[in-house]
Amino acid sequence: MNHDLIAFDWDGTLFDSTACIVRSIQAAAREMGLPEPSQAQAQHVIGLGLEQALLIAAPGLPRERYREMGHAYRKHYFATVHDVTLFDGVVPLLHALKDRGHRLAVATGKSRRGLDEALDQVGLRALFDATRTAEETAGKPHPQMLHELMDELGVAPERTLMVGDTTHDLQLALNAGTAALAVSFGAHPVDELEALRPLAVLHDVPSLHAWLTTHG
């Protein structure tokens, strides 16, 4: 076992929510009277905290309206998120990793409410040893989120692996001094992921399962 702690991003890595997030960002922008961000623009901000995301997705929005935009986004997101679920194969993967003795964590740009509701929806709360959301700590790619998880679980950076679908996840790992693994079935294109030189880029959950239970 090369890594004692495996920290997963949530949206686009374990939870098949990329399209739902994009539509919710676009709907919130329309509701606020702002230009609708393109799919590529909306996908790019997935994984970031609210303020970082709005600087990119809604550059003309005054900061005093960020909270209003956040409420609009959450309204649209929570109206449809219950139609979204885990990628096929995620539950067996997580159980296999627990059986091997890995500590599991979630490091996400979601809100605490959003993550807790998603964990309850899919019944996975008990599988994770620790979780962090962007509103509780510094947002990605600042390393604080991973540092806090490693400190809480008593695992060194060289024994920690970050798994995610965005360049924000990979840069988080680089900044925190941990290894990183990328998946291509989420928000960011393969060439952008490869540019940050993760250990591998996996293209489906069975490949991720095979890699982690062989090399993880």
Residues with catalytic roles: 9, 11
The radius of gyration computed from the CA coordinates of the chain, to the nearest angstrom, equals 16
Residue the block writes with tokens 């989120």? 145
Bridge partners (DSSP) listed for residue 15: 11, 86
Question: Residue 213 burial by CB count (10 A; 0-12/13-18/19+): exposed, middle or buried?
Answer: middle
List b or e across 64-96, with b for residues whose CB sees 16 or more CB atoms inside 10 angstroms: eebeebbebbbebbeeebeebebbeebbebbee
Question: Could you give the CA distance from residue 203 to residue 184 in angstroms, rounded to a whole number?
Answer: 5
In the sheet that 201-202 helps form, which strands lie side by side, from edge to edge? 130-133, 103-108, 5-8, 160-164, 179-183, 201-202
Report yes or no: 14 and 90 within 8 Å, Cβ to Cβ.
yes
Angle, helices 167-176/144-153, rounded to nearest 10 degrees: 60
